[in-house]
């Protein structure tokens, strides 16, 4: 009888709490967790593999009510929040977007222990917080490294000519000033352009931010006044304009987005540029890329402030304030951002945000015949823990970017002078922030 009672208690314990990867998830039989997630490509593999396991462990059902790309989700969530039609418990979120949704999200700090958060990159977690609350839990991150053509940098003729022209050795740039010199030097258009950047939308504003912060500049000062039109901003914009107008960047660049810049580099037309890590397998595929085996990666150049550029972002998960199943929603987030799912995502190409996952990936990479794979993971870990810096955590970042990037384009195209263009943008941003109530 005692044995039966003991077994019964054990069974009850197993049914009432589901422990996985050291996490206490709890049982949520009969609960349906509705989700609004990023979809497409490799983003969905984690759902296919781990949602059924979560359902088995907890008894909850996960129903994905919407899947779309990040910008579509942003649009949907803003409209749903504004019209009060949110019908999901968990939503995709992002370090660049979350500050727009604060009124509609559940603060998460009360649901997580310090121990549960300790394995995450603290730098990434720092940018998941605002106003003293934790609003989202990171899933994976993105930060960019300098990708450069080893064949061009090691070419004896290039080395000799560079030495003659600049009186120093041709080597991978460590500062943005060196970067500019080398980009101009290596340009032989239309075959080779010294560099490129994605030239529109947030892709351009973000790169501007990348270099601006490395020079010690800011988009907004501590009083939320525009600060990007100071000396640092002028220096960055002048570099962009000079490189574009000198033909060291492809003429069509001001219409390029991510796939365009990756395609141009893979086509062998670019000497060096800053790029996200996600394109690695494409660049190393000799059937699709002319630069396979001919490039290397390193940390981004430093600016005048001695800082490495680190424009970054992290894909995250949040719980909606209107959710009726917050405990279950949090359990799902804990599970999907735990070690195993993150390792799985790291193995298919995403940058994990847990240090334990990096350690495993680096150990696995030691067995690879491609030494760049190990170097890549080590570099990622350094950047995620040291360089990771998203744009200003304000709800107005995308509207600010929408003001800024057409002005940057106009400056690069020669429609307006550097200082005048930046001042015009600053004036519009100040008006935007004033209307948003920052100066009341």
Partner 1 sequence: MNQQTNLMAKKGLKKPSKSDRNLSWFMVIPALVIVAVFIVIPMIYSFSLSLTNMNLLKPTSTQFIGFRNYIQLFQDEIFWRAFWNTILFMTLAVNIEFIIGLFIAQMMFKVTRGQGAIRTAIMAPMMFAPVLVGFQFKWFFNDQVGLVNNLLYSLTGDYQIIPWLIHYPMNLLAILVAEIWMSTPFMVLIFLAGLVSLPTEPFEAASVDGASGWQQFRYITFPLISPFIYIAMVIRSLDLGRAYDLVRIMTGGGPANRSEMIWTYTYRLAISNNRFGLGTAMSFITVVVSFAFVIFLFRQLSKSLQEVY
Residues that bind partner 1 (CB under 8 A): 75, 78-79, 81-83, 100-101, 103, 189-190, 199-201, 250-252, 254-255, 260, 263-264, 267, 269, 395, 398-399, 402, 405-407, 409-410, 413, 415, 432, 435-436
Separation of alpha carbons 250 and 187, rounded Å: 10
Distance in Å from the first CA to the final CA of the chain: 72
Q: If you search the block for the tokens 């609960």, which residue do you land on? A: 31
Q: Return the number of the residue (91 or 254) whose C-beta is nearest partner 1.
A: 254
Q: Return the number of the residue (102 or 292) whose C-beta is nearest partner 1.
A: 102
Q: Return the number of the residue (107 or 189) whose C-beta is nearest partner 1.
A: 189
Going by C-alpha positions, the residue among 85, 102, 84 that lies closest to residue 93 is: 102
The CB-of-320 to partner 1 minimum distance in angstroms stands at: 15
Separation of alpha carbons 385 and 126, rounded Å: 11
Separation of alpha carbons 214 and 219, rounded Å: 12
The CB-of-250 to partner 1 minimum distance in angstroms stands at: 6
The CB-of-109 to partner 1 minimum distance in angstroms stands at: 22
DSSP tag of 44: G
DSSP tag of 387: I
Q: Return the number of the residue (159 or 321) whose C-beta is nearest partner 1.
A: 321
Q: Return the number of the residue (372 or 395) whose C-beta is nearest partner 1.
A: 395
Cα-Cα-Cα-Cα torsion 332, 336, 337, 342, nearest 10 degrees, comes to 170
The CB-of-412 to partner 1 minimum distance in angstroms stands at: 8
The CB-of-10 to partner 1 minimum distance in angstroms stands at: 50
The CB-of-344 to partner 1 minimum distance in angstroms stands at: 31
The CB-of-267 to partner 1 minimum distance in angstroms stands at: 6
Going by C-alpha positions, the residue among 264, 291, 290 that lies closest to residue 190 is: 264
Query: Is there a contact between 316 and 138 (Cβ–Cβ < 8 Å)?
Result: yes
The CB-of-318 to partner 1 minimum distance in angstroms stands at: 15
Query: Is there a contact between 282 and 289 (Cβ–Cβ < 8 Å)?
Result: yes
Name, in order, each residue with C-beta under 8 angstroms of 44's C-beta and a sequence gap of 6 or more.
67
Q: Return the number of the residue (251 or 306) whose C-beta is nearest partner 1.
A: 251
Q: Supply 257's token pair.
A: 């987005």
Query: Is there a contact between 247 and 186 (Cβ–Cβ < 8 Å)?
Result: no
Name, in order, each residue with C-beta under 8 angstroms of 284's C-beta and a sequence gap of 6 or more.
292, 293, 370, 372
| Number of Cβ within a 10 Å radius of residue 4 | 8
Q: Return the number of the residue (20 or 102) whose C-beta is nearest partner 1.
A: 102
From residue 345, give the alpha-carbon distance in Å to each of 325, 360, 361, 413.
26, 12, 11, 40
The CB-of-88 to partner 1 minimum distance in angstroms stands at: 18
Separation of alpha carbons 353 and 339, rounded Å: 10
Q: Return the number of the residue (122 or 267) whose C-beta is nearest partner 1.
A: 267
């Amino acid at each position: 009888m005692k044995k039966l009672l003991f077994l019964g208690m054990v069974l009850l314990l197993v049914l009432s709490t589901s422990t996985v990867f050291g996490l206490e998830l709890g049982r949520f039989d009969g609960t349906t967790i509705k989700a609004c997630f990023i979809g497409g490509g490799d983003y969905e593999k984690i759902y296919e593999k781990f949602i059924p396991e979560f359902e088995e462990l907890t008894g909850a059902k996960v129903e994905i009510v919407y899947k779309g790309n990040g910008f579509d989700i942003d649009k949907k969530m803003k409209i749903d929040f504004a019209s009060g039609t949110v019908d999901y418990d968990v939503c995709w979120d992002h370090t660049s977007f979350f500050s727009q949704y604060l009124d509609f999200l559940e603060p998460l700090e009360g649901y997580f222990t310090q121990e549960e958060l300790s394995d995450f990159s603290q730098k990434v977690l720092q940018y998941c917080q605002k106003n003293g609350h934790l609003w989202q839990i990171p899933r994976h991150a993105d930060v960019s490294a300098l990708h450069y053509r080893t064949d061009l940098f090691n070419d004896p003729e290039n080395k000799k000519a560079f030495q003659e022209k600049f009186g120093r050795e041709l080597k991978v740039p460590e500062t943005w000033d060196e970067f500019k010199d080398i980009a101009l030097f290596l340009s032989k258009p239309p075959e080779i352009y010294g560099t490129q950047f994605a030239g529109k939308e947030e892709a351009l504003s973000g790169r501007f931010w990348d270099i601006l912060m490395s020079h010690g500049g800011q988009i907004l000062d501590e009083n939320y006044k525009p600060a990007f039109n100071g000396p640092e901003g002028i220096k960055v914009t002048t570099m962009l304009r000079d490189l574009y107008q000198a033909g060291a960047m492809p003429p069509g660049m001001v219409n390029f987005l991510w796939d365009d810049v990756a395609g141009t580099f893979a086509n062998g037309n670019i000497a060096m540029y800053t790029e996200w890590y996600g394109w690695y397998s494409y660049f190393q595929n000799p059937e699709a890329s002319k630069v396979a085996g001919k490039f290397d990666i390193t940390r981004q150049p430093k600016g005048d402030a001695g800082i490495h550029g680190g424009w970054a972002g992290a894909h995250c998960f949040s719980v909606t304030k209107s959710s009726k199943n917050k405990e279950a929603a949090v359990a799902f987030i804990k599970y999907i951002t735990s070690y195993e799912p993150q390792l799985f995502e790291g193995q298919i190409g995403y940058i994990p945000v847990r240090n334990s996952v990096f350690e495993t990936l680096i150990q696995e990479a030691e067995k690879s015949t491609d030494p760049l794979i190990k170097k890549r993971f080590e570099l990622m870990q350094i950047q995620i823990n040291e360089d990771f810096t998203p744009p200003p955590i304000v709800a107005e970042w995308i509207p600010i970017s929408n003001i800024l990037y057409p002005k940057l384009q106009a400056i690069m195209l020669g429609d307006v002078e550097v200082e005048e263009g930046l001042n015009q943008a600053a004036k519009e941003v100040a008006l935007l922030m004033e209307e948003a109530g920052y100066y009341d």
